[in-house]
Amino acid sequence: MRPRKGWKMANYVAKNFRFKNSGLGKVLGPLEEEIMEALWARPGSTAKEVFEEIRNSRTIAATTVFTVLERLAKKGLVRKSRGESVFTYDAAQSREELSAVVSRDVLKGVLDMWSGSAMASFVDLVASKDPAELERLAGLISSKKKELDGKS
């Protein structure tokens, strides 16, 4: 489930991150996001099946959907496989895997610029949004410290 060789999600995130959008819409265009949703809901779809799904929610040309599917495949977000008579498409990563990669790359970019203040802001945001999550985070930090101490 790796993107194509030489392609880095971090580069894609850096060029395409949209703070105002929600979820994966922060890094995917609206049509890209719809196509990924269609593939997550129905793996192994043909381009025509993806088009039919998208066409239910918007007026769009089949060629537009086919082109975006091909671009997503070139970016490594979609796997294209030859079926008996047509190509089929699958998401290269689950929604959760893609979210984790995007989150990691966004956080890495922020930490590369402002490590100390970024971490303090992150802790403050987690505490204000979900205090229970702060407790879970403390447990993760403790586990990671033990793991690192064991490697020394």
d(C-alpha 92, C-alpha 1), whole Å: 5
State pTM to two decimals.
0.73
Domain CATH number, residue 70: 1.10.10.10
The Cβ-side half-sphere exposure at 4, using a 13 Å CA radius, reads 13
Q: Distance between CA atoms of 107 and 96, rounded to whole angstroms?
A: 16
What is the domain extent for residue 15? 9-92
Q: Is residue 23 part of a domain?
A: yes
CA 28 to chain centre: 8
Written as six digits, the tokens of 97 are: 């895997």
pLDDT tens, the chain, 152 aa long: 344 554 566 667 667 778 787 878 888 889 999 999 999 999 999 999 999 999 999 999 999 999 999 999 998 899 999 988 899 999 999 999 988 888 888 888 778 878 778 888 888 988 898 889 989 989 999 999 999 988 76
- State how many domains the chain has: 2
